Amino acid sequence: MMTEPTTNYDEIIQVTATEDACFQAVATQMNEWWTQTTEGSLVKVGDKVTARFPPSFGYWTFEAKVFDRPNRIEMVCIDAHHKVEGQPEEIDQEWLGTKIIWDISAAGDKTEIRMTHDGLTPTLNCWDICLDGWNHFFKSSLKAFLDGEKPNPHTST
């Protein structure tokens, strides 16, 4: 009998930007690479940011729990509203209480960012959708932004 894996989303990118630029991109520039309709930013523990996905895909609000410039940000999802056509109602709140951890470190002449979404596991209804989303926004859009290329954030149109 196969057991369902419980591995969190955990990926690494290497970019040409400095550690500080990477930290800033995560803390205050989510609108550049994740979704253009981001409200708030993270400049200290307790700050909140909301990532909205218009027209009707929902939003997630995160609160900074660890803010260790330029190497680590931990943010917990404190409000979740995820709507996906054809998915069970439970998908709406699945991110609530999950934690996104950003670890940033020098790696030779590059900077390495490790993103762990603690709680985003294959057992969730949104796993496939969220896996595709993070692979796009983290591994492609954020990487492009930090390599001086054109990112591809969610837009309202």
> Is residue 109 one of the residues assigned to a domain?
yes
pLDDT digits (tens, 9 = 90+) for 91-146: 999 999 999 999 999 999 999 999 999 999 999 999 999 999 999 999 999 999 99
How much is the pLDDT for 122? 94
> Is residue 124 one of the residues assigned to a domain?
yes
Number of domains forming the structure of the chain: 1
> Is residue 3 one of the residues assigned to a domain?
no
How much is the pLDDT for 83? 87
Full residue range of the structural domain in which residue 20 is found: 9-146
How much is the pLDDT for 38? 96
pLDDT digits (tens, 9 = 90+) for 79-88: 999 988 888 9
151-155 average pLDDT score = 96
How much is the pLDDT for 156? 81
Higher pLDDT among residues 4 and 150, named by residue: 150
> Is residue 76 one of the residues assigned to a domain?
yes
> Is residue 1 one of the residues assigned to a domain?
no
DSSP letters for 105-116: EEETTEEEEEEE
Could you tell me which of 8, 2, 17 has the C-alpha nearest to residue 109?
17
> Is residue 153 one of the residues assigned to a domain?
no
When pLDDT is cut at 50, 70 and 90, the band that residue 6 belongs to is low
> Is residue 155 one of the residues assigned to a domain?
no
pLDDT above 60 for 4: no
How much is the pLDDT for 2? 52
Tell me the CATH number at 85: 3.30.530.20
C-beta contacts of 57-62 below 8 A and 24+ residues apart: 57/82, 57/83, 57/84, 58/82, 58/83, 58/92, 60/95, 62/100
> Is residue 154 one of the residues assigned to a domain?
no
Question: Global pTM?
Answer: 0.94
pLDDT digits (tens, 9 = 90+) for 54-75: 998 899 999 999 999 999 999 9
